[in-house]
Amino acid sequence: MSTAAIVHAMADAWDVWSKQATFPFGRRRTGYCINATRTGIEALRILGINTKPASVTMLVLNAAAEQLLRADVPVTQWPEHAWSIGLGSSDDVGPNGEWSGHLLIDGGTFTLDLSSEVMERAGRITINCPMILPPLPSYGERAAWSTHGHTVIMERAPQHNTWRKASGWKDRHPEIERELAMRTEHVLAVTS
């Protein structure tokens, strides 16, 4: 089975599972990206794919916001239908004392963001979750992709590493990791 097939199956399995009452993580809680990334990395390992976590800053813009950004229109002058969502900042720790970044899976040849739904805003920004993106940009570079009618701008933020101290990273959940691997295998069996 190809890596791409497994990654797509995992994205499909996560998408279905994350909408069920039995899903073990709060979808819009602080730390969701940490739990999602840790679980995804370990489930992919079970399935024979080695990946690593990547801390990033990310900006998602709808089409109207992208046009205004390119035209250098200040955000304070944007109309109501122009929307953007930013994850991460120049500081590692945000004003509330919690980690200020976004964590996703770096597969070398792919990037998997199992928690991309945190960026959704009803009627304004719709993300087809989870997001499978091209490889991450090199350190110090910024990359932009178009996905589902939106623009995603991403930059690695290796200086943002306090996520390693978060309980979502330190406290593994092998039963949840195995569950995601089994759900991924089920999707593969049904779609093969």
State pLDDT tens for residues 82-115.
Answer: 988 887 766 656 666 666 678 999 999 999 999 8
Q: 130-170 pLDDT, tens per residue?
A: 889 899 988 888 888 887 778 888 898 877 678 888 878 88
pLDDT confidence of residue 152 = 87
Pick the range with the lowest mean pLDDT from 22-26, 46-50, 96-100.
96-100
Tell me the domain boundaries of the chain.
Answer: 3-184
Query: What's the chain's length in residues?
Result: 192
| CB burial string 120-131: b at 16+ within 10 A, e below | beeeebebebbb
The reported pTM is 0.88
- Other C-beta atoms closer than 10 Å to the C-beta of 48 total 9
Who has greater pLDDT, 96 or 64? 64
Of residues 56 and 150, more confidence is placed in 56
pLDDT beyond 80 at 175: yes
Secondary structure (3-state) at 86: strand
Amino acid 96: pLDDT: 63
Sole residue written with tokens 């205004």: 68
Average pLDDT over residues 61-87: 90
For 56-75, what is the mean pLDDT?
91
DSSP classification of residue 99? B
Partners of 156 in the β-ladder: 56
- Average pLDDT of the chain is 86
Cα(first)–Cα(last) distance of the chain, in Å?
10
Q: Which fold has domain 3-184?
A: Atu2299-like (3.10.550)
What is the average pLDDT across 182-186? 97
Burial class (CB in 10 A: 0-12, 13-18, 19+), 170: exposed
